[in-house]
Protein backbone atom coordinates (compact mmCIF):
# COMPACT_ATOMS: atom_id res chain seq x y z
CA UNK A 1 0.00 0.00 0.00
CA UNK A 2 1.32 3.40 -0.95
CA UNK A 3 2.11 5.82 1.84
CA UNK A 4 0.17 8.83 0.54
CA UNK A 5 -3.36 7.44 1.17
CA UNK A 6 -2.39 6.69 4.75
CA UNK A 7 -0.96 10.17 5.19
CA UNK A 8 -4.07 11.71 3.63
CA UNK A 9 -6.39 9.81 5.95
CA UNK A 10 -4.26 10.77 8.94
CA UNK A 11 -4.30 14.44 7.91
CA UNK A 12 -8.07 14.44 7.42
CA UNK A 13 -8.60 12.73 10.74
CA UNK A 14 -6.38 15.24 12.50
CA UNK A 15 -8.20 18.13 10.85
CA UNK A 16 -11.57 16.68 11.82
CA UNK A 17 -10.54 16.22 15.44
CA UNK A 18 -9.18 19.77 15.55
CA UNK A 19 -12.40 21.18 14.06
CA UNK A 20 -14.50 19.24 16.60
CA UNK A 21 -12.33 20.49 19.45
CA UNK A 22 -12.73 24.13 18.36
CA UNK A 23 -16.45 23.83 17.63
CA UNK A 24 -17.16 22.13 20.97
CA UNK A 25 -15.16 24.70 22.91
CA UNK A 26 -12.64 22.18 24.20
CA UNK A 27 -9.88 24.20 22.53
CA UNK A 28 -10.00 27.97 23.06
CA UNK A 29 -9.54 30.02 19.89
CA UNK A 30 -9.87 33.82 19.63
CA UNK A 31 -13.32 34.63 18.18
CA UNK A 32 -11.88 36.27 15.08
CA UNK A 33 -10.14 33.00 14.18
CA UNK A 34 -13.00 30.71 15.17
CA UNK A 35 -15.15 29.94 12.10
CA UNK A 36 -18.13 29.14 14.36
CA UNK A 37 -17.95 32.36 16.39
CA UNK A 38 -20.36 35.13 15.33
CA UNK A 39 -19.06 37.92 13.15
CA UNK A 40 -17.86 41.00 15.03
CA UNK A 41 -18.32 44.10 12.88
CA UNK A 42 -15.74 46.01 14.90
CA UNK A 43 -13.04 43.33 14.58
CA UNK A 44 -10.37 43.64 11.90
CA UNK A 45 -11.45 41.59 8.85
CA UNK A 46 -9.51 38.44 7.98
CA UNK A 47 -9.84 35.41 5.70
CA UNK A 48 -12.80 34.12 7.74
CA UNK A 49 -14.85 37.29 7.31
CA UNK A 50 -16.52 36.26 4.05
CA UNK A 51 -17.39 32.85 5.53
CA UNK A 52 -19.05 34.59 8.49
CA UNK A 53 -20.91 36.98 6.19
CA UNK A 54 -22.31 33.98 4.29
CA UNK A 55 -23.52 32.49 7.56
CA UNK A 56 -25.61 35.59 8.23
CA UNK A 57 -27.48 35.10 4.96
CA UNK A 58 -28.70 31.71 6.24
CA UNK A 59 -29.39 32.72 9.84
CA UNK A 60 -31.62 35.83 10.19
CA UNK A 61 -31.57 35.71 14.00
CA UNK A 62 -27.77 35.67 14.05
CA UNK A 63 -27.69 38.53 11.53
CA UNK A 64 -29.95 40.67 13.70
CA UNK A 65 -27.82 39.90 16.76
CA UNK A 66 -24.63 40.90 14.93
CA UNK A 67 -26.14 44.12 13.61
CA UNK A 68 -27.55 45.06 17.02
CA UNK A 69 -24.03 45.20 18.47
CA UNK A 70 -22.87 47.80 15.97
CA UNK A 71 -23.32 51.57 15.99
CA UNK A 72 -25.34 51.50 12.75
CA UNK A 73 -28.73 52.93 13.66
CA UNK A 74 -31.52 50.73 12.35
CA UNK A 75 -35.02 49.43 13.04
CA UNK A 76 -36.25 45.92 12.12
CA UNK A 77 -39.13 45.93 9.63
CA UNK A 78 -41.76 43.27 8.87
CA UNK A 79 -41.33 41.06 5.83
CA UNK A 80 -43.02 42.44 2.72
CA UNK A 81 -44.24 40.19 -0.12
CA UNK A 82 -46.40 41.97 -2.70
CA UNK A 83 -46.50 38.79 -4.79
CA UNK A 84 -44.83 40.07 -7.96
CA UNK A 85 -41.28 38.91 -7.38
CA UNK A 86 -40.48 41.98 -5.33
CA UNK A 87 -40.46 42.78 -1.62
CA UNK A 88 -38.07 41.85 1.15
CA UNK A 89 -37.38 39.41 3.96
CA UNK A 90 -35.18 39.78 7.04
CA UNK A 91 -34.71 43.51 6.43
CA UNK A 92 -34.10 46.60 8.54
CA UNK A 93 -34.75 50.30 8.14
CA UNK A 94 -31.36 52.06 8.15
CA UNK A 95 -32.08 55.42 9.77
CA UNK A 96 -28.50 56.38 10.56
CA UNK A 97 -27.59 60.04 9.91
CA UNK A 98 -24.44 58.91 8.09
CA UNK A 99 -26.62 57.35 5.40
CA UNK A 100 -29.58 59.76 5.32
CA UNK A 101 -32.22 59.66 4.01
CA UNK A 102 -33.38 56.39 5.57
CA UNK A 103 -33.88 53.27 3.46
CA UNK A 104 -34.85 49.61 3.79
CA UNK A 105 -32.09 47.02 3.34
CA UNK A 106 -31.73 43.32 4.05
CA UNK A 107 -29.96 42.62 7.33
CA UNK A 108 -27.05 40.86 5.61
CA UNK A 109 -26.49 43.84 3.28
CA UNK A 110 -26.71 46.23 6.24
CA UNK A 111 -23.95 44.29 8.00
CA UNK A 112 -21.80 44.53 4.86
CA UNK A 113 -22.51 48.25 4.70
CA UNK A 114 -21.46 48.74 8.31
CA UNK A 115 -18.23 46.80 7.79
CA UNK A 116 -17.36 48.68 4.60
CA UNK A 117 -17.95 52.05 6.25
CA UNK A 118 -15.85 51.15 9.27
CA UNK A 119 -12.94 49.22 7.76
CA UNK A 120 -12.53 50.69 4.27
CA UNK A 121 -14.44 53.91 3.68
CA UNK A 122 -13.20 55.86 6.70
CA UNK A 123 -9.65 54.51 6.38
CA UNK A 124 -9.48 55.55 2.71
CA UNK A 125 -10.95 58.96 3.54
CA UNK A 126 -8.23 59.69 6.09
CA UNK A 127 -5.48 58.51 3.73
CA UNK A 128 -6.60 60.34 0.59
CA UNK A 129 -8.73 63.23 1.87
CA UNK A 130 -7.30 63.83 5.34
CA UNK A 131 -10.75 63.87 6.94
CA UNK A 132 -13.57 61.49 7.77
CA UNK A 133 -16.70 60.97 5.70
CA UNK A 134 -19.73 62.38 7.49
CA UNK A 135 -22.41 61.25 5.06
CA UNK A 136 -22.77 58.65 2.33
CA UNK A 137 -25.03 59.97 -0.43
CA UNK A 138 -27.18 57.42 -2.23
CA UNK A 139 -30.10 56.78 -4.59
CA UNK A 140 -31.82 54.39 -2.20
CA UNK A 141 -32.15 50.64 -2.03
CA UNK A 142 -35.59 49.14 -2.74
CA UNK A 143 -37.06 49.41 -6.23
CA UNK A 144 -39.38 46.81 -7.76
CA UNK A 145 -37.67 46.46 -11.15
CA UNK A 146 -35.69 44.13 -13.36
CA UNK A 147 -31.98 44.20 -14.07
CA UNK A 148 -31.06 46.95 -16.49
CA UNK A 149 -28.43 46.01 -19.05
CA UNK A 150 -27.02 47.45 -22.24
CA UNK A 151 -30.01 46.08 -24.12
CA UNK A 152 -32.63 47.61 -21.86
CA UNK A 153 -34.84 45.85 -19.32
CA UNK A 154 -33.86 42.28 -18.59
CA UNK A 155 -36.17 39.51 -17.45
CA UNK A 156 -34.36 38.91 -14.14
CA UNK A 157 -35.30 40.89 -11.04
CA UNK A 158 -32.68 43.31 -9.75
CA UNK A 159 -31.27 42.90 -6.25
CA UNK A 160 -32.97 46.24 -5.63
CA UNK A 161 -36.30 44.42 -5.99
CA UNK A 162 -35.42 42.49 -2.81
CA UNK A 163 -33.99 45.51 -0.91
CA UNK A 164 -30.66 43.72 -1.18
CA UNK A 165 -28.70 46.52 -2.87
CA UNK A 166 -27.75 50.16 -2.35
CA UNK A 167 -26.64 52.70 -4.98
CA UNK A 168 -24.03 55.13 -3.63
CA UNK A 169 -23.49 58.39 -5.53
CA UNK A 170 -20.99 60.28 -3.40
CA UNK A 171 -19.67 61.34 -0.02
CA UNK A 172 -19.66 64.42 2.18
CA UNK A 173 -16.41 65.00 4.04
CA UNK A 174 -15.91 66.62 7.45
CA UNK A 175 -13.96 69.52 5.92
CA UNK A 176 -16.95 70.48 3.74
CA UNK A 177 -15.89 68.79 0.52
CA UNK A 178 -18.29 66.73 -1.55
CA UNK A 179 -16.85 63.82 -3.53
CA UNK A 180 -19.13 62.54 -6.28
CA UNK A 181 -18.72 59.44 -8.43
CA UNK A 182 -19.93 61.23 -11.58
CA UNK A 183 -17.60 64.20 -11.10
CA UNK A 184 -14.44 62.73 -9.63
CA UNK A 185 -14.16 59.17 -10.95
CA UNK A 186 -12.65 60.23 -14.32
CA UNK A 187 -9.87 62.25 -12.65
CA UNK A 188 -6.52 61.27 -11.20
CA UNK A 189 -6.44 63.42 -8.05
CA UNK A 190 -6.96 62.51 -4.41
CA UNK A 191 -10.73 62.24 -4.85
CA UNK A 192 -10.38 59.77 -7.73
CA UNK A 193 -7.89 57.67 -5.77
CA UNK A 194 -10.25 57.69 -2.80
CA UNK A 195 -13.19 56.53 -4.95
CA UNK A 196 -11.21 53.69 -6.46
CA UNK A 197 -10.03 52.50 -3.08
CA UNK A 198 -13.51 52.51 -1.56
CA UNK A 199 -14.84 50.66 -4.63
CA UNK A 200 -12.16 48.00 -4.19
CA UNK A 201 -12.85 47.88 -0.46
CA UNK A 202 -16.55 47.26 -1.04
CA UNK A 203 -15.64 44.09 -2.93
CA UNK A 204 -14.41 42.61 0.36
CA UNK A 205 -17.88 42.75 1.92
CA UNK A 206 -20.45 42.78 -0.89
CA UNK A 207 -21.08 40.10 -3.49
CA UNK A 208 -21.79 42.54 -6.32
CA UNK A 209 -19.83 45.80 -6.58
CA UNK A 210 -20.33 47.76 -9.80
CA UNK A 211 -18.77 51.14 -10.67
CA UNK A 212 -18.24 53.32 -13.75
CA UNK A 213 -15.69 50.71 -14.87
CA UNK A 214 -18.59 48.29 -15.41
CA UNK A 215 -20.79 50.22 -17.86
CA UNK A 216 -22.26 53.61 -18.65
CA UNK A 217 -25.35 52.91 -16.54
CA UNK A 218 -23.08 53.07 -13.46
CA UNK A 219 -21.19 56.21 -14.46
CA UNK A 220 -22.65 58.14 -11.52
CA UNK A 221 -22.83 55.57 -8.72
CA UNK A 222 -21.55 52.41 -7.05
CA UNK A 223 -23.99 49.52 -6.99
CA UNK A 224 -23.44 47.39 -3.84
CA UNK A 225 -25.41 44.18 -3.30
CA UNK A 226 -25.47 40.88 -1.40
CA UNK A 227 -26.79 38.81 -4.29
CA UNK A 228 -25.87 35.37 -5.58
CA UNK A 229 -23.22 36.49 -8.09
CA UNK A 230 -19.70 37.60 -7.25
CA UNK A 231 -18.59 40.59 -9.33
CA UNK A 232 -16.14 43.45 -8.67
CA UNK A 233 -15.92 45.93 -11.52
Q: What are 141-165's pLDDT values in tens digits?
A: 999 999 875 434 457 899 999 999 9
CB 199 within 8 A of CB 133: no
**Euclidean distance between CA atoms 9 and 7, whole angstroms:** 5
**Euclidean distance between CA atoms 160 and 142, whole angstroms:** 5
Q: What angle do CA 150, 199, 98 make, to 5 degrees?
A: 110
User: What does pTM read for this prediction?
Assistant: 0.87
Q: What are 185-217's pLDDT values in tens digits?
A: 998 999 999 999 999 999 999 999 999 999 999
Amino acid sequence: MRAWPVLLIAALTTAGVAAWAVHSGRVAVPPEWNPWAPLDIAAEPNWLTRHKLRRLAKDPALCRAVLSRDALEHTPVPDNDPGDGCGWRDAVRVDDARFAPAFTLTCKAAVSLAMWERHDLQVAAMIHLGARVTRVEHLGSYACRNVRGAGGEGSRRSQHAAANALDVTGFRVADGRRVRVLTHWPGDGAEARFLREVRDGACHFFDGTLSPDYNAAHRDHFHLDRGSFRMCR
